[in-house]
């Protein structure tokens, strides 16, 4: 699996077109709480790629980026129960989204090791 940084891509129009093909209407972060950072907005997997570990690879990639930037936690929201727990996320609390609906917010701690001697 190749992970592409949309903002660094020279083919953003292509990727926007691909995203528009999804059968899911979500398309923006929906918890209005900018202090929760870093935030994984949405994770969508096209049906033909489900069950192949893509979500886990993407979450692992985000975890690495956040750890390299010195963050201590990553947040994500969903209406689902049991989806992100298997990737190390824990239910944190319920929050209202931008539409006033309740959403489950999950958190994972970023574990870093200090390999410096002495």
**CB distance 89 to 96 below 8 Å:** no
| Phi, psi of 7, rounded to the nearest 5 degrees | -70, -20
The dihedral over CA atoms of 85, 32, 70, 84, expressed in degrees to the nearest 10, equals 10
CATH of the domain at 99: 3.40.630.30
Q: Rounded to 5 degrees, what angle do the CA atoms 38, 41, 47 make?
A: 135
Task: Let me know if residue 108 belongs to a domain.
Answer: yes
Tokens of residue 61, six digits: 């990639």
Task: Let me know if residue 24 belongs to a domain.
Answer: no
Q: What is the pLDDT of residue 115?
A: 40
Task: Let me know if residue 13 belongs to a domain.
Answer: no
**CB distance 108 to 90 below 8 Å:** yes
Task: Let me know if residue 9 belongs to a domain.
Answer: no
> Structural domain of residue 62, as residue ranges?
40-112
Task: Let me know if residue 1 belongs to a domain.
Answer: no
Q: Which pTM does this prediction carry?
A: 0.79
Burial class from Cβ neighbours inside 10 Å (0-12, 13-18, 19+) for residue 89 reads buried
Q: What is the pLDDT of residue 112?
A: 62
Written as tens digits, the pLDDT of the chain (118 aa) is 888 888 899 999 999 898 888 887 665 757 777 788 898 877 888 889 889 989 899 999 999 999 999 999 999 988 888 889 999 999 999 998 888 888 899 999 998 654 444 3
Query: Domains in the chain: how many in total?
Result: 1
Q: What is the pLDDT of residue 25?
A: 66
Task: Let me know if residue 18 belongs to a domain.
Answer: no
> Which residue reads 């936690």 in tokens?
73
């Amino acid at each position: 699996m190749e992970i592409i940084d949309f903002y660094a891509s020279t083919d953003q129009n292509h990727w926007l077109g691909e995203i528009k093909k999804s059968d899911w209407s979500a398309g923006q972060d929906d918890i209005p709480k900018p202090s929760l950072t870093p935030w994984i907005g949405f994770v969508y997997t096209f049906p033909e790629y489900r069950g192949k570990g893509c979500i886990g690879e993407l979450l692992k990639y985000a975890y690495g980026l956040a750890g390299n930037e010195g963050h201590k936690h990553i947040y994500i929201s969903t209406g689902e129960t049991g989806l992100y727990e298997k990737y190390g996320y824990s239910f944190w609390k319920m929050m209202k989204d931008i539409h006033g609906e309740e959403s489950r917010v999950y958190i994972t701690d970023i574990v870093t090791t200090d390999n410096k001697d002495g």
